[in-house]
Amino acid sequence: DVVMTQSPLSSPVTLGQPASISCRSSQSLLQSDGNTYLSWLQQRPGQPPRLLIYKISNRFSGVPDRFSGSGAGTDFTLKISRVEAEDVGVYYCMQVTQFPVTFGQGTKLEIK
């Protein structure tokens, strides 16, 4: 199974400042079709998760452009350019390149 490792596990951020979360996979997520199926999810307190980013860097419908994804192979990053209060929650990376689908442990984003 592909192991997904996130860092940091907790990230206190000042409103209006940037935030960055790293995700590393135990093997390359590049699939034979040329795509890399690495996604980022946000889970606000008390809510279901929500897809933010798919295939490394594609923002899903309705996701603000302050969220961006980058990376390749085994190393990926989610960046928030200016953190807002509504961004508080837990962020997960997820790989769907191979079954079983696996998630990172989650990174808790909180406001300082």
Where does this chain bind other proteins (CB under 8 A)?
A: 37, 39, 41, 48-51, 54, 60, 90, 92, 94, 96, 99-106
For residue 107, count CB atoms less than 10 angstroms from its CB and return exposed for 0-12, middle for 13-18, buried for 19 or more.
Answer: buried
Residue closer to other proteins (CB basis): 35 or 77: 35
| Residue of 17, 23, 21, 13 lying closest to 88 (CA atoms) | 13
Residue closer to other proteins (CB basis): 37 or 66: 37
Residue closer to other proteins (CB basis): 44 or 79: 44
| Closest distance to other proteins from the beta carbon of 16 (Å) | 28
Q: How far is it, in rounded angstroms, from Cα 28 to Cα 105?
A: 18
